[in-house]
Amino acid sequence: MNVTVTVNGSQVEAEVPDRTLLVHFLRDVAGLTATNIGCDTSSCGACTVLLDGRSVKSCTMLAAQADGRSVVTLEGLADGDGELHAVQRAFRAEHGLQCGFCTPGMVMAAVSLLSENPDPSEAEVRTALEGNLCRCTGYHNIVRAVLAAAGERGGR
Amino acid sequence: MIPAPFTYKRASSVDEAVDLVARDGEDAKFLAGGHSLLPLMKLRLAVPQTLVDIGRLGELSYIRDEGDHIAVGAATTHGELASSGLLGRDLPLLAHAAGQVGDPQVRHCGTIGGSLAHADPAADLPAVVLALDATLVARGPAGSREIAAADFFRGLFETALEPGELLTEIRIGKPAAPGWAFQKFTKRAIDWAIVGVAVQGGRVALVNMDQTPVRAVAVESALADGAAPAEAAAHAAAGTSPSEDLNATRAYREHLARVLVRRALEAAQAAG
Amino acid sequence: MSILGTRVVRTEDPLLLTVGGTYVDDLRVPELAGAARVTFVRSPVAHALITGIDVAAAREAPGVVAVLTVADIDDLPPPPPAPEGEPPPGSEAAPLPMGGPWAEPLLAVDRVRFVGEPVAMVLTDDTYAGEDAAELVSVDYEPLPAVVDLDAAVGGETLLFPAAGTNVAVTAGGPADGSAFDGCDVVVERTIVNQRLAPVSMEGRATAASWADGKLTVWVSTQNAQISRFIFAGAFGLDPAAIRVVAPDVGGAFGAKIGADRDAILVAWAAKHTGRAVRWVETRSENLVGMTHGRAQRQHIKIGGTRDGRILAYRNEVIQDTGAYPRMSGFLPFLTGLMASGPYDIGHVETANRVVVTNTTPISAYRGAGRPEATAAVERAVDLFAAEIGMDPAEVRRINLVPPDKFPYSSGGGAVYDSGEYVKALDQVLTAAGYEELRAEQARRRERGDPLQLGIGLASYVEITAADAAGGETAKVMVHDDGTATVYTGSSAHGQGHHTAWAMLVQGELGIPMERVTVLHGDTDLVPLGTGTYASRSLQLGGTAVHLAAVDVKEQARAVAADLLEASAPDLELDTERGVWQVRGDPASSRTWAEVAAHAGPDGLAADANFTDGQPTFPFGTHLAVVELDTETGKVALIRHVTVDDAGTVLNPLLAEGQRHGGIAQGAAQALLEEMVYDADGNPVTGTLVDYAIVTAAELPSFELLSSETPATSNPLGAKGIGEAGTIGATPAVQNAVVDAVSHLGIRHLDMPATPARVWAAINEATARTATREGQ
Ligand SMILES: Cc1cc2nc3c(=O)[nH]c(=O)nc-3n(C[C@H](O)[C@H](O)[C@H](O)COP(=O)(O)OP(=O)(O)OC[C@H]3O[C@@H](n4cnc5c(N)ncnc54)[C@H](O)[C@@H]3O)c2cc1C
Ligand code: FES
Ligand code: FES
């Protein structure tokens, strides 16, 4: 079917098989490869993107379901001038990433969390990231980064 | 892991959705949040020929105060339930339990209607609507009908919905009986319940203690007879038939049911 | 101030945080344009004879380029013959990996030995078509009994390799005659399990390959591009010069991506065989059975000593489940034996092991590789001993830890520990954790019968890193006439931050700012020789090589600068703050690196180094875990984790802490959550991430890391390895904490993982025991 998605502010339109998953639409049609696939059971969150501003697992959604809607991936997070989002900056400052594979999904999950809860406690950050697996960092610095980003954005 | 090929159709109204599924018969399925159906399709454990997307129907997504009851549209997401001020005030059990489903991403997509229609014995909301004694509204080619929650869950992944019937609304009477609690026992936060308990007033429902969510009838009657939480909870596993899996033996599930019911009743007492 | 030892944020991150890494699946290089997708058809049964493979339907399916089975492998050299005088099965000297009767084919020939074993390959235009077509390949299996249980494996009623005549691939160490324990007042023994784990790097395995003009290019998610090149050369009978291996960004590895495995070889072969570029990226379900697993030991531990806390003898007898193919031969239990006695000064230490094959996924290195198993065993043994003599486990450790004046220390396991301050590490942790207060709180909770009991667990450890130090590591440092520098390293990064660390070393030595240093790794065209990353070897070997090359470049530059400044070389100094050369004490004379490099002549400033003079190093530390255990449900929560992990001189605390954090989480997860489970027929029960429980942020506390640096003496950086320490220390600390939380109920041991079900069952049994006793 014909699918049109606003991806990071630009319209991406393509004729794709009905069964196309959003994650493959983003990676193979829109050519945005930051979004990763880490599992086949909707368990890992590596594929997390924002759909109309909210975090979703793009491996568990058809491109057709996103038709006419707006998606933001890691590539679209920095503003037009390339100024990094507070969460991106904080991940670097706090060493919230190692191999980087979980990072795109983790960052998008964190952005979604802070838009719903600008001033989370450590415990709230930890539960809000329950759907995003990271095998490298032990989450310690990811949690620090999200708290730091919240602080910087005036949450606290 | 990719679903087998199928045809995707997006319904623009409830009527059209019912029509589209009726037209394709057996091999057509409604697609709401897709968070039970798509994982199964990716593993090719479900192979529908047609998906009819109802996920975006505004007429199925609402939480309304109807005076004597609260009406929830079937395509309302877990996230919307969890953050609803109305539910937080009048039906905190539903809001709280919805906030325990999966993870934030799952809650942004998964819907109450999908959860009830899918009828996974380990799911949270089916037990919650049992404890709330909700009424479910279904629409089929022949029109609408109401089904009591107590009559809805028929077996493993099996409900009272006729083929092609769409769940449209969940109605919960107001005011809710005082005192509520929800206990979900998991290995990790993200996991499905090994056992769960929903309590509203004197009604107690169990997650994952049988092929369907079940009311803990023996506990309820003990409570009605004035038993204290700990006494009543001793009957929590009576009449249940829990399965065995990687996470629990039958005996362990029965034990958990007793502990969790006691804790839930104590919490409900404190809340009520 | 030198940049060395400071918290420098990573140079890798800006890309990873804006456009993401470039993993194999992300490569958009011209050579891979239009690459076919590879989908493996894998055995769904654990043990069977293959009686037929029908690929006709699959070949006809839309989008199919080729369907390949073992019958198509007609263009490879025969596997090397079994080494001369092949040691009989059961020999200690078995080669690594094992050949002869134990040889592992590429695609299954006439028998499958584990669920997930590759049987056929489907090449299609895209992924979607691949999954459709793979379903059409029909394979006839004639089931054989599956060997899953270790005793059944040893018993040998069913053999995986009939020609070998046994399932026991390696036997080492003698039987116990018990005399080692003569003179002990107290002896405790017990069989414990160090369960099978799946590594689950977030990026699974992935390989892409193209064959053009007689040259093979392979992009593979590996820890070792250079080793992989030799593996491919051997498998295809090609001159290594005809092969380029590239390790692009690698999304985690943890030991399971050392070199290239049979799946990767097959993908590269498919490119050569069909002439079409190909790409394979495994699914997670595939990963959980196809990537090697780790741990999987059953250990019989025996410990003895005096009533006043002195440990006199220890024995650890291991049965290593090696899965369907002995890829690691006897190496893992060998390391377990080497490190058997841990940080303790024990007079009599005995080890023995047997390596057995089973119808399960092959076992290989996983973060720690044999060493966590040693530590887990001895730390359990020490706690069992402490419980038996009724002494505080911290005190027993203090009495038995190797004292500082005994280094270098020759251990009972056969290692020579270089340096350490073991007691100091223990005390540092006890103080920071508030040990006395924790014990008091525990006592209060026991006193009032609180359903939430506190458990306090300790683990003191020593580990061996860069065990193969003599294998060395390569580096090349070049300074260009624009004042920038390039580092070529044989080491290989997959999250550790090599690019940052190596650039820091160059800035520290040469004063060229990090931003002007480019680090290149993982491409055999750029770095033909190197070893790569495993066994926590990178900084101490690869970093040292970079350091040595930088020193060499510096001395070259001194001569060039002397010429430029018309001064004598010894009179020159490098101001590393400003990055300029000058006549000593005369800043006005300064020349920049650009000027010096420009003056250096056609060869520029460049130096190679291959650091092979290193020695293995022995990082050590103590972990203390505090758990809260719900005695009504059996659920355990890790609420505090305090550690000292001394890895010598720390180059960048930010990176070192990151390694510790990740290690602690993986270690704690082994103690509490993870286990790869098979049913009696060899079917994986935990074959998806729904059932294989990776720990999430919600189950963990923030960690309390203490610092301690006892420099290594065998390399100029003073560095020891830090990659595996966290895992090694955390697992037994958490496990000991769980047991401690229920020890007042008479429970002395609980196998891992301490799932709610297992803990509850133990409590239930203990309570029933007490009730019976009281009833009598
Ligand atoms: C990672 C993960 C974790 C999860 N954890 C939990 C958990 O802890 N607890 C829990 O309860 N659930 C959990 N879920 C399931 C989640 O709640 C699902 O969203 C829910 O079960 C199904 O809702 P859906 O809208 O996604 O339904 P879909 O997947 O779209 O549909 C499910 C089934 O119901 C049918 N259906 C959907 N809507 C209707 C309707 N209105 N009328 C008739 N039939 C309909 C569909 O045809 C399909 O057969 C989890 C899911 C995932 C992916
Ligand atoms: S890829 Fe794992 S949740 Fe989407
Ligand atoms: S940084 Fe490697 S998985 Fe998170």
Residue ranges of chain B whose CB lies within 8 Å of a chain A CB: 1-8, 10, 31, 34-35, 38-39, 42-43, 51, 53, 55, 79, 83, 102-106, 108-109, 188-190
Q: What is the CATH number of domain B180-271?
A: 3.30.390.50
Interface pTM (ipTM) of the complex? Answer: 0.97
Strand order in the sheet with C64-68: C64-68, C118-124, C36-42, C278-281, C206-212, C215-220, C243-246
Position C437 confidence tier, pLDDT thresholds 50, 70, 90:
very high
Asked if the model's pLDDT at residue C82 lies above 60, the reply is no
Residues 6+ apart with CB under 8 A from B89: none
Pairing between strand C473-479 and C485-489? antiparallel
Q: Which ligand is nearest to the CA of C494?
A: 3
Residues of chain A in contact with residue C654, where contact means CB-CB under 8 angstroms, are 95
Residue C82's closest CA among C91, C74, C70, C73?
Answer: C91
Q: pLDDT of C247-279, one tens digit each?
A: 999 999 999 999 999 999 999 999 999 999 999
Residues of chain C in contact with residue B253, where contact means CB-CB under 8 angstroms, are none
Alpha carbon of B24 to those of A62, B4, B225, C757: distances in Å? 20, 17, 52, 45
Look at C201 and A135 and tell me if their CB atoms are within 8 Å. yes
Residue ranges of chain B whose CB lies within 8 Å of a chain C CB: 1-2, 4-5, 43-44, 185, 187-191, 194, 246-249, 252, 255-256, 259-260
Asked if the model's pLDDT at residue C85 lies above 60, the reply is no
CA of C129 to the centre of ligand 3 (A): 30
Pocket test for ligand 2, best of A37, A56, A61, A106 (most atoms within 8 A of CB): A37
Q: pLDDT of B38-56, one tens digit each?
A: 999 999 999 999 999 999 9
Q: Greatest CA separation found in chain C?
A: 99
Q: pLDDT of C760-773, one tens digit each?
A: 999 999 998 888 87
Q: Which ligand is nearest to the CA of A138?
A: 3
Mean pLDDT of C61-76: 94
C155, containing H or E segment? helix C150-155
Look at A74 and C18 and tell me if their CB atoms are within 8 Å. yes
Q: At what angle do helices C371-389 and C393-400 cross, to 10 degrees?
A: 120
Distance CA C400, CA C556 (A): 51
Pocket test for ligand 3, best of A95, A101, A129 (most atoms within 8 A of CB): A101
Alpha carbon of C515 to those of B52, B138, C15, C519: distances in Å? 54, 64, 14, 10
Distance of CA B235 to the CA centre of its chain: 23
Residue C678: phi, psi to the nearest 5? -120, 150
Residue C214: phi, psi to the nearest 5? 75, 10
Q: Are B204 and B130 in contact (CB under 8 A)?
A: no
Mean pLDDT of C682-710: 97
CA of A133 to the centre of ligand 2 (A): 9
Distance CA A13, CA A15 (A): 7
Q: Are C147 and C78 in contact (CB under 8 A)?
A: no
The minimal CB distance from C703 to the residues A43, A136, A138 is found for A138
Mean pLDDT of C539-546: 86
Q: pLDDT of A28-79, one tens digit each?
A: 999 999 999 999 999 999 999 999 999 999 999 999 999 999 999 999 999 8
Q: pLDDT of C343-393, one tens digit each?
A: 999 999 999 999 999 999 999 999 999 999 999 999 999 999 999 999 999
Look at C17 and A138 and tell me if their CB atoms are within 8 Å. no
pLDDT at C81: 59
Find the residues whose C-beta lies inside 6 A of ligand 2. Answer: A 37-39, 42-47, 57, 59
**Does ligand 3 have an atom closer than 6 angstroms to the CB of A109?**
no
Please, which chains are in contact with B (at least 3 CB pairs closer than 8 A)?
A, C
**Identity (one letter) of the amino acid at C664?**
I
Give the chain A residue whose CA is nearest to the CA of C204. Answer: A38
pLDDT at C776: 61
Q: Are B211 and B121 in contact (CB under 8 A)?
A: yes
pLDDT at B90: 96
Look at A64 and B8 and tell me if their CB atoms are within 8 Å. yes
Residue C473's closest CA among C569, C545, C369?
Answer: C545
Look at B104 and A19 and tell me if their CB atoms are within 8 Å. no
Residues 6+ apart with CB under 8 A from C449: none
Per-residue burial over C611-633, b = 16 or more CB atoms within 10 Å of its CB, e = otherwise: beebbbbbbbbbbbbbbbbbbbb
**Does ligand 1 have an atom closer than 6 angstroms to the CB of B139?**
no
Residues of chain A in contact with residue C28, where contact means CB-CB under 8 angstroms, are 31, 33
Residues 6+ apart with CB under 8 A from A44: A38, A102, A105, A132, A133, C202, C284, C689, C694
Asked if the model's pLDDT at residue C402 lies above 60, the reply is yes
CATH T-level topology, domain A2-76: Ubiquitin-like (UB roll) (3.10.20)
DSSP-H helix ranges across C213-322: 225-236, 262-274, 284-290
CATH code 1.10.10.10 for B7-53? no
Residues of chain B in contact with residue A109, where contact means CB-CB under 8 angstroms, are 104-105
Distance CA C624, CA C626 (A): 7
Q: Are C772 and C764 in contact (CB under 8 A)?
A: no
Q: Are C480 and C636 in contact (CB under 8 A)?
A: no
Distance CA B110, CA B102 (A): 9
Position A156 confidence tier, pLDDT thresholds 50, 70, 90:
very low
Q: Which ligand is nearest to the CA of A133?
A: 3
**Identity (one letter) of the amino acid at A156?**
R
Residue C687: phi, psi to the nearest 5? -90, 5
Position C531 confidence tier, pLDDT thresholds 50, 70, 90:
confident
The answer to whether A83 faces chain C, any CB pair under 8 Å, is no
Per-residue tokens: B74: 């079937």
Q: pLDDT of C621-641, one tens digit each?
A: 999 999 999 999 999 999 999
The minimal CB distance from C756 to the residues B4, B187, B189 is found for B187
Q: pLDDT of B14-46, one tens digit each?
A: 999 999 999 988 899 999 999 999 999 999 999
The minimal CB distance from C20 to the residues A84, A100, A131 is found for A100
The minimal CB distance from B8 to the residues A59, A62, A113 is found for A62
Residues of chain B in contact with residue C283, where contact means CB-CB under 8 angstroms, are 1
Q: pLDDT of B204-217, one tens digit each?
A: 999 999 999 999 99
Mean pLDDT of C157-183: 90
Q: pLDDT of C459-489, one tens digit each?
A: 999 998 888 888 888 889 999 999 999 999 8
Q: pLDDT of C545-579, one tens digit each?
A: 888 888 889 999 899 999 999 999 999 999 999 99
Asked if the model's pLDDT at residue C438 lies above 50, the reply is yes
- Sequence ranges of the domains in chain B: 7-53, 58-173, 180-271
Q: Examine residue C513 and say whether the peptide bond preceding it is cis (omega within 30 degrees of 0).
A: no
Tell me which residue has tokens 């969390």. A113
Q: How many CB atoms lie within 10 A of CB C436?
A: 11
Distance CA C678, CA C298 (A): 16
Residue ranges of chain A whose CB lies within 8 Å of a chain B CB: 1, 17-19, 21, 40-43, 45, 48, 51, 54-57, 59-62, 64-65, 67, 109, 112-113, 116, 127-128, 130-132
pLDDT at B63: 98
Helix, strand, coil proportions of chain B in percent (round to 5)? 35, 25, 40
| Closest chain B C-alpha to A45 CA, distance in angstroms | 8
CATH T-level topology, domain B58-173: 3.30.465
- Pick from C42, C287, C632, C672 the residue to mutate for testing the B interface (most B CBs within 10 Å): C632
**Does ligand 1 have an atom closer than 6 angstroms to the CB of B107?**
no
Position C665 confidence tier, pLDDT thresholds 50, 70, 90:
very high
Per-residue tokens: C183: 């003179």
Residues of chain A in contact with residue B8, where contact means CB-CB under 8 angstroms, are 1, 18-19, 62, 64
Mean pLDDT of C221-230: 93
Q: Which ligand is nearest to the CA of C25?
A: 2
Which residues share a beta bridge with B205?
A: B198, B215
- Sequence ranges of the domains in chain A: 2-76, 86-152
Residue of higher predicted confidence among C665 and C82? C665
Asked if the model's pLDDT at residue B196 lies above 90, the reply is yes
CA of C661 to the centre of ligand 3 (A): 12
DSSP-H helix ranges across chain A: 22-24, 63-66, 86-93, 103-116, 122-128, 140-152
Q: What percent of chain C has pLDDT over 70?
A: 97
Pairing between strand C311-321 and C348-356? parallel
Residues 6+ apart with CB under 8 A from A15: A1, A2, A3
Alpha carbon of B106 to those of B62, B99, B111, B115, C43: distances in Å? 18, 10, 9, 12, 32
Residue C462's closest CA among C509, C408, C500, C502?
Answer: C408
The predicted model scores a pTM of: 0.96
Measured by CA distance, the residue closest to atom 1 of ligand 2 is: A37
Distance CA C101, CA C79 (A): 12
The minimal CB distance from A61 to the residues B2, B34, B43 is found for B34
CA of A105 to the centre of ligand 3 (A): 10
Measured by CA distance, the residue closest to atom 3 of ligand 3 is: A134
The minimal CB distance from B252 to the residues C131, C673, C760 is found for C760
Q: Are C365 and C257 in contact (CB under 8 A)?
A: no
CA of B120 to the centre of ligand 1 (A): 9
Residue B18: phi, psi to the nearest 5? -65, -40
Tell me which residue has tokens 């069964």. A19
**Does ligand 3 have an atom closer than 6 angstroms to the CB of A101?**
yes
Q: pLDDT of C272-326, one tens digit each?
A: 999 999 999 999 999 999 999 999 999 999 999 999 999 999 999 999 999 999 9
Q: Which domains does chain C have, with CATH numbers?
A: 386-464+618-775 (3.30.365.10), 469-611 (3.30.365.10)
CATH T-level topology, domain A86-152: DNA polymerase; domain 1 (1.10.150)
CA of A136 to the centre of ligand 3 (A): 4
Look at C698 and B188 and tell me if their CB atoms are within 8 Å. yes
Distance CA C143, CA C21 (A): 43
Position C93 confidence tier, pLDDT thresholds 50, 70, 90:
very low
pLDDT at C90: 45
Pocket test for ligand 3, best of C10, C202, C223 (most atoms within 8 A of CB): C202
Q: pLDDT of A72-117, one tens digit each?
A: 999 999 987 889 999 999 999 999 999 999 999 999 999 999 999 9
DSSP-H helix ranges across A30-139: 63-66, 86-93, 103-116, 122-128
pLDDT at C46: 98
Residue B64: phi, psi to the nearest 5? -125, 145
Tell me which residue has tokens 């966590």. C372
Q: What is the number of CB-based contacts under 8 A between chain A and chain B? A: 84
| Closest chain B C-alpha to C669 CA, distance in angstroms | 11
C168, containing H or E segment? strand C168-172
CA of B110 to the centre of ligand 1 (A): 5
Mean pLDDT of C531-538: 82
